[in-house]
Amino acid sequence: MAHGYEMLESPAVPSAGRTEHREPAITRQNVTPRAMDADEPWMRGLHADTGYLLYRLGLRSGQLFNTFLQESGLRLRHYAVLRFLATSEGALQRELSARLGYDPSAIVGLVDDLEKQGFAERRPAPDDRRSRIVVLTESGRAFLRDTDEAGQRVTGELVGPLDAAERESLHALLLKIAADGLN
């Protein structure tokens, strides 16, 4: 404990109302506006929860990434597929689904979009005619090359206030907790 998280939450409303106000309106008794014995553990700020922080920053990260990709007509999920294909030299859609955690039905649309943009291609699997193998096209590779730097800038912006050592430390920690759940 003993973190300086209080900085994130401001003390309610200053309410510098100068005007003399009227009737107190509601006077039900089930609400107690009194400042109850503070410092109870259950009333700590939101940012005291690592889980909530992760949730929050995850949203921000996704937003940043999406606005960065927006000009290319893709979204984060497409980018994830591309990046996955870049390391795997072709994958069954079923694999994409399992590894990236998206529903099989979602993969369909994603690969459709990537094919429309010419970044990926569906090929018939030689041994199983049910399956399709998705591979990067040359222009897909080019896209990854060209946007790589900008993508890293986005991440850089996200972890802005951290120095190099801290970034590495954070990355290692995240990797550690990402490793157990297959993700």
CA–CA distances in Å: residue 124 to residues 89, 90, 118, 131, 142? 15, 11, 17, 7, 24
**Tokens matching residue 79:** 């980018």
Q: Is 154 in the site for DNA (CB under 7 A)?
A: no
Residues contacting residue 139 through CB under 8 Å, at least 6 positions apart: 118, 119
d(CA 52, CA 60): 12
Closest distance of CB 128 from its own copies, Å: 8
d(CA 157, CA 73): 21
Q: Give the strand pairing for 120-124 and 132-136.
A: antiparallel
Burial string for 162-178 (b: 16+ CB within 10 Å, else e) reads eeeeeeeeeeeeeeeee
The single residue among 40, 71, 105, 130 that binds its own copies, judged by CB under 8 A, is: 40
Closest distance of CB 117 from DNA, Å: 14
Nearer to DNA, 55 or 168 (CB): 55
Nearer to DNA, 103 or 163 (CB): 103
Binding positions for its own copies, 9-28, rule CB under 8 A: 9-13, 15, 17, 19, 21-22, 24-26, 28
The single residue among 47, 83, 122, 141 that binds DNA, judged by CB under 7 A, is: 122
In the 8-state DSSP scheme, what is residue 39?
T
Instruction: Draw the binding track, 109-138, toward its own copies (x: CB under 8 A; -: no contact).
Output: ------------x-xx-xxx------xxxx
Q: Is 97 in the site for DNA (CB under 7 A)?
A: yes
Calculate the CA dihedral of residues 133, 136, 137, 142 and round it to 10 degrees. 180
Binding positions for DNA, 62-81, rule CB under 7 A: 63, 75-77
* Binding residues for DNA, total number by CB under 7 A: 27
Q: Is 103 in the site for its own copies (CB under 8 A)?
A: no
Closest distance of CB 75 from DNA, Å: 4
Binding site for DNA (CB under 7 A): 19, 59, 63, 75-77, 92-94, 97, 102-108, 111-112, 122, 125, 127-132
